[in-house]
């Protein structure tokens, strides 16, 4: 079952790759991420508690204070108060519930004035959910995302946020699979063949802001209602709220077809004409694709006029119709080895296609229309 949402409001896309946040850790040398036991995560939503939002929030705060073993933490009620605005009395009650349920234990060195807790050993082969420490501490001077989520009073918004982190695939997009959540092109404007030129075809694409989702992870956010729009309304309200607070955004990507298992080829920037930074590599890549398309059009500039405002991308003439989709991404990304590998793949795609479009542009300018675009692989 899939759900759709009408166009949502605009939000600011912020590049988190170069952001850094303060790091206060528990004993041991940890990275800028912590790991949630994937098997335990759904159980936290069924255990008895006086306040579900405080209970789960306290769990995440204490876990963010662990070291590289993701077990020992010196963070306690004070950290909950400092980072997420949870008063000490309420934080202490939530922590005590974590102890009573066996989620954490007090260490032999723990005292009332200097509490210290231990989490069970993490099974790294069980695919834990990696979260950035900055989710708790905040990026620079910003209010931490976890605090903003708690301020909504909606515990299921927190569940959605962490579930989205758990869905992330470590391919070049480093985003949520488009089978689970995506932005689609408008129904009336799928990718269309604009013109052919020699060995290449130029396609025109437009990214809409109609969203779609499916999968078991959406179930807890849907209500029983005969009307599907009504049933999905809570889900889409939470997606929109995460986007509004800057935790979630959608990055436009060109895929090699319209199937949901199509390969991601390259990120693009629909606003490349107005890019404010000359060093923006994605805007530069999108501009090169447009320039190559313009050279392939030659004197047939009316083709470009027909696609004003669209993303233009040339492909080899034999290639099937591509498609543009918005990939759901978390603004604050955990600095894990998987993230670094995905970032390296992303940069190889950007650099490879930038070079290929520049070569195609120059070939077309010199009358060489017999050379197809060189496709790249991640």
Specify whether the CB–CB gap between 229 and 303 falls below 8 A: no
In sequence order, what are the residues at sequence separation of 6 or more whose Cβ sits closer than 8 angstroms to the Cβ of residue 69?
A: 28, 121, 122
Is the pLDDT confidence value at 27 over 60? Answer: no
Is the pLDDT confidence value at 196 over 80? Answer: yes
Widest pairwise Cα distance in the chain: 79
Residue 276 pLDDT level (bands cut at 50, 70, 90): low
Q: Tell me how crowded residue 20 is: count the other CB atoms within 10 A of its CB.
A: 11
Residue 3 pLDDT level (bands cut at 50, 70, 90): low
Residue 273 pLDDT level (bands cut at 50, 70, 90): confident
Distance between CA atoms of residues 272 and 7, nearest Å: 21
Range with the poorest average pLDDT among 29-38, 130-139, 173-182 = 29-38
Distance between CA atoms of residues 347 and 105, nearest Å: 43
Distance between CA atoms of residues 175 and 346, nearest Å: 12
Average pLDDT over the chain reads 90
Q: Tell me how crowded residue 268 is: count the other CB atoms within 10 A of its CB.
A: 23
Q: Residue 164 corresponds to which tokens in the numbers above?
A: 């989205």
Mean pLDDT computed over 309-333: 96
Specify whether the CB–CB gap between 207 and 187 falls below 8 A: no
Mean pLDDT computed over 39-60: 98
DSSP string, 45-106: TTS--S-HHHHHHHHHHHHHTB-TTS-EE---HHHHHHHH---HHHHHHHHHHHHHTTSSEE
Is the pLDDT confidence value at 299 over 50? Answer: yes
Is the pLDDT confidence value at 7 over 90? Answer: no
At 209-243, the pLDDT tens digits run 899 999 999 999 999 999 999 999 999 999 999 99
- Look at residue 110 in the predicted model and tell me its pLDDT: 82
Q: Which helix (H) or strand (E) holds 42?
A: helix 40-43
**How much is the CA Rg of the chain, to the nearest whole Å?**
24
This prediction's pTM: 0.89
Distance between CA atoms of residues 36 and 130, nearest Å: 6
In sequence order, what are the residues at sequence separation of 6 or more whose Cβ sits closer than 8 angstroms to the Cβ of residue 243?
A: 8, 11, 249, 250
**H-type alpha helices, 203-326:** 228-244, 281-297, 302-306
Is the pLDDT confidence value at 29 over 50? Answer: no
Residue 265 pLDDT level (bands cut at 50, 70, 90): very high
């Amino acid at each position: 079952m899939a759900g759709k949402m009408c166009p949502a409001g605009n939000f600011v896309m912020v590049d988190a790759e170069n952001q850094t946040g303060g790091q206060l850790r528990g004993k041991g040398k940890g990275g800028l991420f912590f790991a949630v036991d994937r098997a335990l995560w759904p159980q936290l939503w069924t255990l008895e508690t006086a306040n579900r939002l405080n209970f789960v929030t306290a769990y995440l705060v204490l876990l963010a204070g662990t070291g590289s073993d993701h077990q020992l933490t010196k963070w306690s009620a004070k950290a909950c108060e400092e980072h997420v605005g949870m008063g000490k009395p309420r934080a202490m009650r939530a922590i005590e519930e974590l102890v009573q349920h066996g989620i954490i234990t007090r260490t032999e060195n723990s005292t009332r004035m200097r509490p210290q807790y231990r989490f069970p050993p993490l099974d790294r082969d069980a695919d834990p959910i990696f979260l950035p420490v900055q989710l708790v501490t905040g990026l620079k001077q910003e209010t931490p995302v976890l605090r903003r989520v708690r301020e909504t009073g909606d515990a299921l918004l927190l569940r959605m946020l962490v579930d989205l982190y758990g869905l992330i695939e470590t391919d070049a997009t480093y985003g949520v699979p488009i089978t689970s959540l995506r932005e689609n092109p408008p129904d009336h404007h799928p990718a269309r063949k604009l013109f052919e030129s020699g060995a290449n075809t130029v396609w025109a694409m437009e990214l809409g802001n109609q969203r779609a989702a499916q999968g078991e992870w959406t179930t807890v956010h849907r209500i029983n209602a005969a009307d599907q729009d009504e049933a999905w309304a809570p889900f889409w309200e939470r997606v929109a709220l995460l986007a509004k607070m800057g935790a979630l955004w959608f990055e436009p990507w060109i895929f090699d077809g319209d199937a949901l298992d199509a390969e991601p080829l390259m990120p693009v920037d629909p606003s490349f004409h107005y890019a404010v930074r000359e060093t923006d590599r994605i805007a530069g890549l999108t501009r090169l694709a447009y320039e190559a398309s313009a050279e392939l059009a030659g004197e047939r500039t009316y083709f470009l006029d027909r696609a004003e405002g669209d993303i233009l991308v040339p492909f080899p003439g034999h290639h099937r119709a591509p498609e543009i989709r918005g990939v759901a991404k978390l603004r604050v990304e955990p600095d894990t080895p998987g993230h670094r590998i995905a970032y390296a793949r992303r940069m190889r795609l950007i650099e490879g296609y930038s070079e290929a479009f520049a070569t195609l542009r120059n070939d077309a300018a010199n009358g060489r229309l017999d050379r197809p675009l060189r496709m790249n692989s991640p």
